[in-house]
Structure 1
Amino acid sequence: MDHAALEAHIPRLRRYARALVGDAVRADDLVQDTLERALRKFSLWRRGSDLRAWLFTLMHNIYINQRRAERPNVPWDETHDTPVRGRQEDQLVLRDLHTALEALPPEFREVVLLVGLEEFSYAEAARVLGIPPGTVMSRLSRGRERLRRMLEGDPPTPLRRVK
C-alpha cells in the first residue's frame, strides 16, 4: 500500500467533509473513519483506478450511514469556527452560503459540493454517489438554482415528489 498516495488526498477529504457536515470536529471524525475503512478495505481498491474517487465514495457511504443513524436536520451551531477572511462582509457571505448549503436537501448538497467544491466531473460524481450522470446534472442544476434563490433572499420552492 502506498501511504503517501493516501495521505495526499487528506486535505481534499477534510475540505469536503467540513463542507458536508458543517463542523470541524465531526468532519475530522468522518475523515478518520474514511481513512480507517480505506486501510481495512484497501484490497478492494482496483490498482489503476482513481484512488480519489474511491476515497470519496467511501466517505459518502460512511456519511450516509451516519446521517441515517442520527436525528435528521441537526442545526448548525454558529459557535463552531469557520474559515473566514479578515473582513466582516466576507464572514456574512460565508455564513449565508453555509446556511443555504445546510438548507439544501442532502441529495442536492452532495452533488453541489462534489462538483463545485471538489471539482469532480459529472461521471466521477455519479460513480461516487452511485447515481446516473444525468441525475448528477439535474441535481446540480436544481441545487445551484435553489442556492441562488436562497442567497438572493427568495424562499426555496418545496420539492415535488414524482413517482
Structure 2
Amino acid sequence: MLTNEQRQRFGAWVVAIGPRATAYARSLVRDPSRADDVVQECFYRLLRRADAYDLERDGVKILFKAISNLCINQATREKALLSLDSSHPDDSPITVADPVALRPEQILQHRELEQAICDALQRLPPLQRAAVELRALGMSKEEIGEALGVSATNAGVLVHRGRHALARELESLHNIADSDDKV
C-alpha cells in the first residue's frame, strides 16, 4: 500500500515523464489513441509494482523498455488492415513560430517532407525504428540498449542502419525534386 507522499511523488513523476513517453509510443505505433493506451498500460503495470522499483532512478528506463516491448509485440503480432479511406487522423496543420513568414510552397514542401519521413520510418524494422526514435529523443546508446533489450553496441548498429535507410529513402525524394526542377 502506498503512502500519500509516495502517491504524490509517483503522480508528479508520471506527469513529468508522460508527454515524452506518449511521444515515443506515438512514433512507434502512429495511432494516437493506441499510443495513449500503450503508455497507460505501461504506467499501470509499472506503478502496480512500484514497491519493487526505484522509480526516481530506474523508472524512465523501465518505462521506455516496456513501451518498446509492447509496441514491438503488437506490431509483429497484428496484421495490418488496409483502409479505403485515404484521410489520416493526424492531418493537422503544421505549427511554426511565424506562419506568415512561410510561403504556401514552403508549407507544402514541409508537409511532403514530413510525410516522406513518416513513411520511411514506417518501412523500417520495428527495432531500428524504435532505436532511431529513442536517439531522436536524446537517449544514449546505452539507454537505447537497455530500453530495447540489446547491447549498447547493437543499439548503435540499429541507430546507424536505421539512419542509413532513412537517408537512402530521403535521397531518392531529393533526386525526384531535382529532376522536377530541371523540367
Tell me, yes or no, whether TM beats 0.5. Answer: yes
> 1:45–1:54: 8 Å Cα contact kept in structure 2?
no
> 1:104–1:143: 8 Å Cα contact kept in structure 2?
yes
Q: Equivalent residue for 2:103?
A: none
Mapping 1:97-116, distance limit 5 Å = 97-116=117-136
Query: Structure 1 vs Structure 2: percent identity of aligned residues?
Result: 31
Q: Equivalent residue for 1:143?
A: 162
> 1:18–1:27: 8 Å Cα contact kept in structure 2?
yes
Q: Any stretches of 5+ residues in structure 2 without a counterpart?
A: 1-5, 100-106, 174-183
Q: Which amino acid aligns with 1:103?
A: R
- Normalising by structure 2, we get a TM-score of 0.74
Counterpart of 2:64 (choices 17, 31, 56) is: 56
Give the distance between the partners of 1:142 and 1:132, measured in 2 at CA: 15
Deviation at 1:24, TM superposition (A): 1.1
The answer to whether residue 75 in structure 2 is matched with residue 67 in structure 1 is: yes
Mapping 1:8-87, distance limit 5 Å = 8-46=16-54, 49-71=57-79, 73=80, 78-82=87-91, 84-85=94-95, 87=107
RMSD across aligned C-alpha pairs, in angstroms? 2.1
Structure 2 residue matching 1:131: 3-state secondary structure = coil
Q: Equivalent residue for 1:159?
A: none
The structure with the largest helix share of the pair is 2
Give the distance between the partners of 1:27 and 1:89, measured in 2 at CA: 27
Alignment deviations for residues 23-61 of structure 1 (CA, whole Å, 9 cap, x no partner): 111111111111111221222323552321121112112
Return the index of the structure with the highest Cα Rg.
2
Q: Equivalent residue for 2:143?
A: 124
Q: Equivalent residue for 2:102?
A: none
Give the distance between the partners of 2:64 and 2:158, measured in 1 at CA: 18
Q: How many residues align?
A: 152
